[in-house]
Homo-oligomer: A and B are copies of this chain.
Amino acid sequence: MKKNYGIQSVPRMSEEVTRQLIQYIAAEKLKPGSKLPTERQLSERLEVSRSSVREGIRALEILQYLESRQGEGTFVSKPPPYLIPLSIIRKEENLVELHKYYQVSLLHARQILSLGISNQISIDQLQVDQADFWSSFSSLVDFVGKQLLNNYYLEIWQLTNQLLESFDFYLHVTNRFEIDKILEAYNSLNYTALTDYIQQIEEAKIV
């Protein structure tokens, strides 16, 4: 009885290839322009078919991380994109790197809430859990973000926030914040108070 534990039942070969490729490039410190082993070599080393290797490469290619040219080979084209899905990264926690996501996340949270105020989006119907700041903050941003015309702010925020959560990053934020202060600033349309508080959040100590 082998069932779906958690995310994915059976890891896909092509996904494994993607992971290995990222790891390989990092380990070998390959710069943009560097050539990767041929598909056949990768196929042998990783002990998967060439089809699977190709699928793995194709995924990294749409992220503009790799580029393969017929008759030449496959090359590293850019530094690893910030948007590599959770399922692929799964490396050790890197607080320095995660802190960058934290900043990007808060930038968008601030933007979403600011626009929420200026567009007079009411949050009366929102239920928040006073006890857990980050979960209630997430609910707030999510709630407001979904009602904005520009959905990209929310998308980037969700992406970064999701990543931070999955790595339990918020546990490393030692400062205690209060969701009430944010809700109060929001409801009283106090833009400066809101941004100031988010500024404080951004400057929190990470341990």
Contacts and interface: CB of A to CB of B under 8 A. Distances in A.
A104 B152 contact: yes
Contact of A55 (B4, B58, B107): B58
A153 B104 contact: yes
A73 interface: no
B62 A18 contact: yes
Interface in A1-23: 4, 9-10, 14, 18
Interface string A131-165: 00000000000000000011111011000000000
Interface of A is mostly: helix
A130 B156 CA distance: 33
A162 to B, nearest CB: 10
A54 interface: yes
Q: Among the interface residues A4, A9, A56, A152, which one has the most CB atoms of the partner chain B within 10 A?
A: A152
Interface in A39-82: 51, 54-56, 58-64, 69-70, 79, 81-82
A150 B103 contact: yes
Nearest to A63: B62
Contacts of A85: 62-64
Cβ-closest 6 pairs across A and B: A59-B62, A55-B58, A82-B152, A100-B150, A58-B59, A104-B152
